[in-house]
A = this chain, B = another copy of it.
Amino acid sequence: MTQSSTTVPVRPAPRPGPADARPVIPAGDGVRRGLGLGEVRLTGGFWGDLQDTNARATLSHCLDWMARLGWLANFDRVAAGTTGPERPGWEFSDSEVYKLLEAMAWELARTDDPALADRYTALVDRVAAAQDDDGYLNTCFGHPGRPDRYTDLSGGHELYCVGHLLQAAVARLRTAGEDLLVRVARRAADHVCREFGPDGRQAICGHPEIEVGLAEFGRALGEPRYTEQARLFVERRGHGTLPPRPLLGPGYFQDDQPVRETEAWHGHAVRALYLAAGAADVAVDTGDEDLLDAVRRQWRHTVERRTYLTGGMGSRHQDEGFGDDWELPADRAYCETCAGIGSTMVSWRLYLATGDVRYADLMERTFFNVLATSPRGDGRAFFYANPLQQRVAGQDVLPDAENPRAEGGVRAPWFDVSCCPTNVARTLASWHAYAASVDGDRFTVLQYAAGEWDVRLDGGGRLAVRVSTRYPDDGAVRVEVLAAPERAVTVRLRVPEWAGNGVGDGAAATLTGVDGVTRTVAPGWAQCTAEFRPGDTVVLRLPTAPRLTWPDPRIDAVRGCVAVERGPLVLCLESPDLPSGIALDQVRLDPAVPPRAEGDGALVRVRTVGARVESFPYTPVPARPATGEEIDVRLTPYHRWAERGPSTMRVFLPVT
């Protein structure tokens, strides 16, 4: 296809600076801003290592799989005019290519690897060649032998794919400036605005994503038409206009009630969360307090009643969706990796809009226990679903076999519906953008990781710090000032909710200021304002003794159970850590014996119960108490479960 010459002219985007490389920049850049990737460099540690594995293994792993399955060649067939009834991949496979491009763009900003740059350029060329003259870009619809454009808005994912294209273009625009991908995205966005604008089709896409894509692309280009189109899509949703899909009501794609009237997230979790992220963007950029309040209310309701201990969201496999309030089964927890990522997308936007520490708290929980759980240590296999209990050990997955959804307790190299690997890749590649913020002369560390920050303060001048920490293995976070302006500025550190009173051994969180004075700090913020000099140090110490965590009794699925956490990590008991001859369902934790730290996990005291043999599992006699021997068993971080081969696993353990 030749490229269109009918693109609406817009002013050239400015060349990006170090502070510009950010996924989310609200109009006017808000009261507080996240840091650009050019202002941060992680130096190993938990998140630095994950980023390195992502760069070294995951990006090429995803590219290779998509090449092998023909998802890339779909673009070539459109360009060559050789499309037909047969086409590999789901309707949304284009979006995986765009998410990979986004990941590559962020990663290039981090490492500027020339081999990666070549792969990026080659991939963009293939995508660009498939764009129609009028900006339409999709390999599943609209070409010979394929269904016509927009004939399946409920299931076709055409606008969803464009949304991901726009997010990829945002990453490129803010890290390297305008290039072919950005131009392709601009034509695609213009096409969407023409086709679905105020005078166009009064329709929406079954899977939200175009909203958040348009909103951010509009921000990145200073193009109010895109923001307005995002707003139109948000407002159009909830009026039951999407054609129904078999056995799924309109709530599945949030078309049952307008966003601003919705009380809790419901239906397909990823759809609900991407929509909320887009709605938050529209609300902020248009000053729509009512809409922002709606998203905040939905976040609050959902976190209070529909969220797992891991931060995972979505408790139904049937529709990959939220359940009712308190419907949080451990074994059938869906907790799709992409829903976890969607949750952090929403929380980040709400944090930037409000500054409320709770949003950053949830992001930490989700980062450590959902995002970090998905990829295998080598970055070449992933969880799609993240249950909190595995009753039956999964089966080993062949390294070259596609897996339906990686729900079976074993990470799989690739899935039939393979949305998670590229989503993990783009999120890890840009993770450090979510780790701190600045407002005025205040620099706030939100997520703890070893690294160096060199921040342009809004009040002028630079603040450079080195953060040293072994977090989450150790709760000490040392912030050393490397450079600071000659005036009083503030370094603020997040004290997680879990670090409040009652943690494990009773130790409290403390902050040691530049004056060397140590004081106890409560959950929320701890800060130090000073005219810093190079070498000045602030130390936050978070209590990371293992601690018991009890569920609300309305969560029926884990009644009579307790979990153990350590710092930001949810721990779990996995079958390889049990003495032989003891099954996971025979174990009862003794809550009277405090858990003790052991390696990166904990030791807990348990008793065993004998296995019952009944011909019908409902009897007139209550179950006997646990009278078996007392033993200590080791709990390990949930995010690393199933790394030692297929296993059974529980986060919540019944108590004695």
The docked-state distance in angstroms from the alpha carbon of A623 to that of B309 is 16
The docked-state distance in angstroms from the alpha carbon of A296 to that of B552 is 41
Query: Nearest Cβ distance between residue A566 and chain B, in whole angstroms?
Result: 13
* Nearest opposing residue in chain B for A619, CB measure: B550
Spot the interface stretch: A5-13, A168-176, A230-238, A320-328: A320-328
The docked-state distance in angstroms from the alpha carbon of A552 to that of B623 is 7
Interface residues of A in 292-349 (CB under 8 A from B): 300, 303-305, 307, 309, 316-318, 323-327, 329-332
The docked-state distance in angstroms from the alpha carbon of A561 to that of B316 is 23
Query: Nearest Cβ distance between residue A396 and chain B, in whole angstroms?
Result: 16
Is A560 on the interface with B (CB-CB < 8 A)?
A: yes
Is A460 on the interface with B (CB-CB < 8 A)?
A: no
> Which residues of the partner chain B approach A116 to less than 8 Å between Cβ atoms?
none
Query: Nearest Cβ distance between residue A634 and chain B, in whole angstroms?
Result: 22
| A559 adjacent to B654 (CB under 8 Å) | yes
Given the contacts A324-B391, A404-B249, A623-B552, A616 and B654 also touching, CB distance less than 8 Å: no
* Nearest opposing residue in chain B for A616, CB measure: B303
| B391 adjacent to A325 (CB under 8 Å) | yes
The docked-state distance in angstroms from the alpha carbon of A304 to that of B615 is 5
| B617 adjacent to A548 (CB under 8 Å) | no
- Contacting A561 at CB < 8 Å: which of B247, B392, B559, B585? B559
| B616 adjacent to A304 (CB under 8 Å) | yes
The docked-state distance in angstroms from the alpha carbon of A462 to that of B326 is 59
The docked-state distance in angstroms from the alpha carbon of A614 to that of B552 is 9
The docked-state distance in angstroms from the alpha carbon of A556 to that of B329 is 9
| B247 adjacent to A417 (CB under 8 Å) | yes
The docked-state distance in angstroms from the alpha carbon of A558 to that of B623 is 12
Interface residues of A in 393-441 (CB under 8 A from B): 404-405, 416-417
Is A553 on the interface with B (CB-CB < 8 A)?
A: yes
Interface residues of A in 556-574 (CB under 8 A from B): 556-563
| A391 adjacent to B327 (CB under 8 Å) | yes
The docked-state distance in angstroms from the alpha carbon of A318 to that of B405 is 13
- Contacting A316 at CB < 8 Å: which of B305, B317, B325, B416? B317
| B620 adjacent to A503 (CB under 8 Å) | yes
| B559 adjacent to A560 (CB under 8 Å) | yes
**CB-defined interface of A531-546 with B at 8 Å, one 1/0 digit per residue?**
0000000000000000
Query: Nearest Cβ distance between residue A100 and chain B, in whole angstroms?
Result: 23
* Nearest opposing residue in chain B for A552, CB measure: B617
Interface residues of A in 243-279 (CB under 8 A from B): 246-249
Interface bin, chain A: 35 or more
Interface residues of A in 589-625 (CB under 8 A from B): 591, 609, 612, 614-623
Is A547 on the interface with B (CB-CB < 8 A)?
A: yes
The docked-state distance in angstroms from the alpha carbon of A654 to that of B558 is 12
| B303 adjacent to A615 (CB under 8 Å) | yes
The docked-state distance in angstroms from the alpha carbon of A332 to that of B556 is 12
> Which residues of the partner chain B approach A307 to less than 8 Å between Cβ atoms?
616-617
Total copies of the chain: 2
* Nearest opposing residue in chain B for A405, CB measure: B247
> Which residues of the partner chain B approach A468 to less than 8 Å between Cβ atoms?
none
* Nearest opposing residue in chain B for A611, CB measure: B554
> Which residues of the partner chain B approach A548 to less than 8 Å between Cβ atoms?
620
The docked-state distance in angstroms from the alpha carbon of A392 to that of B264 is 14
Query: Nearest Cβ distance between residue A563 and chain B, in whole angstroms?
Result: 7
The docked-state distance in angstroms from the alpha carbon of A516 to that of B562 is 57
Query: Nearest Cβ distance between residue A389 and chain B, in whole angstroms?
Result: 7
> Which residues of the partner chain B approach A616 to less than 8 Å between Cβ atoms?
303-304, 307, 497
> Which residues of the partner chain B approach A404 to less than 8 Å between Cβ atoms?
247-249
Is A44 on the interface with B (CB-CB < 8 A)?
A: no
Is A70 on the interface with B (CB-CB < 8 A)?
A: no
Query: Nearest Cβ distance between residue A404 and chain B, in whole angstroms?
Result: 5
> Which residues of the partner chain B approach A555 to less than 8 Å between Cβ atoms?
617
Query: Nearest Cβ distance between residue A106 and chain B, in whole angstroms?
Result: 30
Interface residues of A in 218-248 (CB under 8 A from B): 246-248
The docked-state distance in angstroms from the alpha carbon of A301 to that of B621 is 21
* Nearest opposing residue in chain B for A320, CB measure: B318
The docked-state distance in angstroms from the alpha carbon of A307 to that of B614 is 13
> Which residues of the partner chain B approach A556 to less than 8 Å between Cβ atoms?
330-331, 389, 557-558, 561, 654
Query: Nearest Cβ distance between residue A354 and chain B, in whole angstroms?
Result: 15
Chain A residues packing against B (C-beta within 8 Å): 246-249, 300, 303-305, 307, 309, 316-318, 323-327, 329-332, 358, 389, 391-392, 404-405, 416-417, 497, 500-503, 547-563, 585, 591, 609, 612, 614-623, 654
Q: A309-B618, A551-B617, A552-B612 are in contact. List 14 more A-B contacts (CB 8 A).
A: A247-B404, A248-B404, A316-B332, A317-B318, A327-B332, A329-B557, A501-B620, A548-B620, A550-B618, A552-B623, A553-B654, A554-B585, A559-B654, A560-B560
Q: What would 27 A/B residue contacts be, using CB atoms closer than 8 Å?
A: A246-B416, A247-B416, A247-B417, A248-B404, A303-B615, A303-B616, A304-B614, A304-B617, A305-B617, A307-B617, A318-B318, A323-B331, A324-B392, A325-B392, A332-B332, A358-B615, A503-B620, A550-B622, A550-B623, A551-B617, A551-B618, A552-B614, A553-B585, A553-B654, A556-B557, A556-B561, A559-B560
Closest 6 CB pairs between A and B? A552-B617, A502-B620, A317-B318, A560-B560, A553-B623, A324-B391
